[in-house]
Amino acid sequence: MITNPNHPARLEHNVVPGSPRVRLDAWVADVARLTQPDDIVWCDGSAEESRRLTRQLVAEGKLVELNPDLRPGSYLARTSANDVARVEGRTFTCSVDEDDAGPTNQWRDPVEMRAELDGVFAGSMRGRTMYVVPFSLGPVGGPLSQLGVEITDSAYVVLSMGLMTRLGDRVLREINAGTPWVATVHSLGHPLRGDDGALQEDVAWPSNDTKYIVQFPETREIWSYGSGYGGNALLAKKCFALRIASVMARDEGWLAEHMLLIKVTSPENHTFHVAAAFPSACGKTNLAMLQPTIPGWTVETIGDDIAWLKQGSDGRLHAINPEAGFFGVAPGTGTLTNPIAVETVRANTIFTNVALTDDGDVWWEGLTPEAPAHLIDWTGADWTPSSGTPAAHPNSRFTVSIDQCPTLAEDAHESFPLDAILFGGRRATNVPLVVQARDWKHGVFLGATISSEQTAAAEGSVGSLRRDPFAMLPFCGYNMADYWSHWLDVGDRLGSRAPKIFQVNWFRKGDDGSYLWPGFGDNSRVLEWILRRVENRIPAVRVPIGEVPRLRDLDVSGLDVTRDRLEQLFDVDPDSWLAECDLTEEFFAQFGDRVPPEFADVLRSTRYSLHSAR
């Protein structure tokens, strides 16, 4: 660990008096004094700046330029083997009170953590350039938008932030005009000068074996060290837009959520806006770019990962996608599963850890049914289909502006009222294809109990469940039970104007172990039922766990689903569900008396209905 006896005792920019701009300058100077970069560059977000940084990264061997005839304006980065994903084990929530972090976050005392970080960051940028990156989440000056500044010693991070956020001068002008901003500091933890001051050679992917991803919720600060990878290093994304923003949202009465956003238009030309929370690897990007298989319906993309929701002056819940790009998982993204994503990354994309083809294009498992005969794999080694290892890292990514998405909604950069909220997991058993919540309170309960099976369990069994409440388990910046109470409070204020809440499960399996529902574009049939319910055009069937479709209301024309398999899709077995209620109660127990009492009411009434249905 680098230690520096001269480091400032603490960086308390948030208590420095003065305007937001005065605080920004003081904070940049403080961080520079601590990390000791060779120079400081304020990023303006211009095309010229991104061309210059790209040229520099190519010259340094940190980006490979792809064949401009096949993949114009696109580049490949290869990380080191120990820096390929978010590091939840090194992610810390440093609230003043440990109970405010809750049992699902790793808490550390903020004073101790600051002292530890001062040691770690001391001299960490020696020999490197420190970039100051002002960014906006949401359109600059927009009603739900927030400003931040990321200090980073990685040009790859600057380029990626330019795709994922609104970056640059416009943001600085807002700060100059007095708008507050969130402070985020990132260092690769790989200085190029030692104590003797001599410059060492750089490597293709600088990082450090020791990593820290640290959130200070009270002071709205993020400190990230040792990783150059996406969710660890692009601090606007998971660290700010979810962890810190969820705390700001709690304090200010709004919601920061791990949700995709889509606009759906019916054959009658009615438009609806839908948000959906699914845990990782449950098809969020696919639903965001869905191509309906039923005539007359269209789905347009607004966002694939994060949504900020706030009650508008009309009393309804309004949403924005705070991001300006996609940081999507490449493997499994193919012309059959998600042709829109494939089209989105046709140019101007930064790929990370995918494979390189002999003609200078990219490939990953699932892009095409057959792998090319020869590739350079994500580690930079020769690869053939007989190599026995994946050519692209399973968590390889594309980073691209949302403006390249051919199904992007015209109003994707604006805010709009939400009609429906969907919660989903990956459940082989028990959970029907779609269930409408009885009311907001029941809907919040459904969000709080999102789960996926660890292993595919047998029909009727409940297996061992991985809980991921609201798909926010790694991203909620405060006590998860307090977050549930906050959702209930928001619902109280929305009253009858609240969006309707639904639980969906595309992954239920039949007795024979095969998926009961085709999924992908055919999920439009489920969206149709949901929006017909939102319009109040059709009744539903009350079952103990909510409301399900009358089978005749679900359009399955042209699908190869038998009546028997449709019934299996919606089967609610009282004994399995009573066991499920027991597991839910056990799951809630870890949160003690912070669990909202409303959840006990929902459990009680659900159990009562299940007993009656036996």
Amino acid occupying residue 331? P
Residue 482 makes contact with Mn ion by CB under 5 A: no
Phi first, then psi, for residue 140 (nearest 5°) are -55, 125
Cβ 230 to ligand PEP shortest distance, Å: 3
Binding of Na ion by 445 (CB under 5 A): no
325 binds ligand PEP (CB under 6 A): no
| Closest distance to ligand PEP from the beta carbon of 397 (Å) | 8
Task: Tell me how crowded residue 108 is: count the other CB atoms within 10 A of its CB.
Answer: 19
Q: Alpha carbon 46 to chain centroid distance?
A: 26
Q: Which residue is nearest to ligand PEP (CB)?
A: 231
Which residue's structure tokens are 């304006």? Answer: 73
Name residue 532's amino acid: R
Scan residues 233-252 and list those touching ligand PEP (CB under 6 A).
238
The answer to the question of residue 327 lying near Na ion (CB under 5 A) is: yes
Decide: 153 and 191 in contact? Cβ < 8 Å.
Answer: no
Please, are residues 454 and 515 in contact by the beta-carbon 8 Å criterion?
Answer: no
Q: By CB under 5 A, tell whether 305 contacts Mn ion.
A: yes
Q: How far is the CB of 280 from ligand PEP (least distance, A)?
A: 4
Query: Which listed range, 325-333, 367-375, 518-526, 588-596, lies at the site for Na ion (CB under 5 A)?
Result: 325-333
Is 522 annotated as belonging to a binding site? yes
Q: Quick check: 86 binds ligand PEP (CB under 6 A)?
A: yes
CA distances from 566 to 60, 155, 502, 543, 562 (A): 57, 52, 19, 16, 6
Cβ proximity to Na ion, 118 vs 305, nearer residue:
305
Binding of ligand PEP by 230 (CB under 6 A): yes
Q: Is 38 annotated as a binding residue?
A: no
- Give the residue, chosen from 106, 129, 265, 280, that forms a contact with ligand PEP under the rule CB under 6 A: 280
**8 A C-beta contact, residue 378 and residue 393:** yes
Report in angstroms how near the CB of residue 306 gets to Mn ion at its nearest: 7
Task: Report the half-sphere exposure of 49 (CA within 13 A, side-chain side).
Answer: 20
608 is in an annotated binding site: no
Rounded-to-integer distance, Cα 142 and Cα 240, Å? 17
Which DSSP letter does residue 195 get?
A: T
Is 305 assigned a ligand-binding role in the annotation?
yes
Residue 436's closest CA among 346, 546, 354, 339?
A: 546
Least Å distance, CB 77 to ligand PEP, is 14
Q: Is 380 annotated as a binding residue?
A: no
Stretch that binds ligand PEP, among 43-51, 199-207, 230-238, 439-447 (CB under 6 A): 230-238
User: Pick from Mn ion, Na ion, ligand PEP, none: which does 230 bind, CB < 5 to 8 A by kind?
Assistant: ligand PEP
Q: Is the CB of residue 196 less than 8 Å from the CB of residue 161?
A: no
Alpha-carbon 149 to chain mean position: 20
Q: For residues 547, 552, 558 and 560, what is the CA-based torsion angle, rounded to 10 degrees? A: 70
How far, in Å, CA of 442 to CA of 491, rounded? 11
User: In this structure, what token pair is assigned to residue 112?
Assistant: 């101790």
Q: Is 327 in the site for ligand PEP (CB under 6 A)?
A: yes
| Residue 305 in the binding site for Na ion (CB under 5 A) | yes
239 is catalytic: no
Which residue number places its CB atom closest to Mn ion?
A: 305
| Alpha-helix residue ranges (DSSP H) falling in 211-329 | 230-233, 245-252, 284-288
Q: How far is the CB of 198 from ligand PEP (least distance, A)?
A: 35
Helix (H, G, I), strand (E, B) or coil at 41: strand
Please give the residue ranges that form the binding site for Na ion (CB under 5 A). 305, 327
Instruction: Enumerate the active-site residues.
Output: 282
Site residues (CB under 6 A) for ligand PEP? 85-86, 230-231, 238, 280, 305, 327
Q: Which residue numbers belong to the known binding site? A: 86, 229-231, 238, 258, 280-286, 305, 395-397, 426, 520-523
Annotated binding-site residues for substrate read 86, 229-231, 280, 395-397
